[in-house]
Amino acid sequence: MTHPLPPSPDRPALDLDALLEPLCALALEAGACILRHYRPDVAVATKGDGSPVTQADGEAEAIILEGLAEIAPGIPVVAEEEAAAGRCPDASARFFLVDPLDGTREFITGNGEFTVNIALIENGVPVLGVVYAPALGRLFAGGPAGAWRREGAEKRHSMRVRAAPGPLTVVGSRSHGSAETAVYLERLPVAGFAACGSSLKFCMLAAGEADFYPRFGRTMEWDTAAGDAILRAAGGCVTTCDGEPLRYGKRQQGHDADFANPHFLAFGDPAILPLACTDRIARES
């Protein structure tokens, strides 16, 4: 359940439910921009951390930044490409996290599993999230009133996580799998594994299409916040490997960069947590 921050002189009251639809429209606009660049001969550059970036990343981010300045003036925005250029706002209890093109590798290879991610963080918690997969025509959103999805021109369909069925359907990264994940899953009752790109993995849990997403590779907060918000709104949860809720706005981390996430576990049914917590597995191994 989300709890909006109380208003203060520098932080006016915010109607989260009313904000969600404009964020969806902004994600659709950014997605349309991305699709204009979606072709086999797309030019690819390499950022300082070795990750790929395209013109679509920068143009979509510019659209989102301009839109957020109009929709919610005064709320800081932490966006992936701005952060890569060393431009981050001061710490705030309320701020947006933006990944304009999550799954750039999927965008480059042409498999369609890339998304636009926009999230609002309040006091370390993702309280609103929008994930749009433009090539697939799938829009997901979540906030205080719950989570929903829209396929193409269809009406909204509400989403709720499913009860854990026993053996779990696990979803994992298509481009960033790890041997550690494979070893970890050997200790759990797994019915099947599905590979998927970008933040769509969170959305699969929220829609009841899968049960569990463990991530033992590197992620940043803008990779996860929007999907995390949607999953929480659908009744799921995202925790660190010792069972603590994943938090946002992590800065001045002595062991890692600003906004870097620890390894995490994402669940549809929170009842899976005691079974999947890595501390418990380590004790029983």
Annotated binding site: 80, 99, 101-104, 223
Question: 3-state class of 224 per DSSP?
Answer: helix
| Residue 276 amino acid letter | A
CA distances to 162, 177, 180 from 285, in Å: 29, 23, 15
Q: CA 47 → CA 79, 111, 138, 149, distances in Å?
A: 15, 22, 28, 33
Residue type, 35: L
- Annotated binding-site members for substrate: 80, 101-104, 223
* Closest to 55 in 3D by CA, of 74, 81, 79, 87: 81
Q: How many residues does the chain have?
A: 285
Give 68-108 as a DSSP string. Answer: HHHHSTT--EEEHHHHHTT--PPP-SEEEEEEEEE-HHHHH
Where is the binding site for Mg(2+), in residues? 80, 99, 101-102, 223
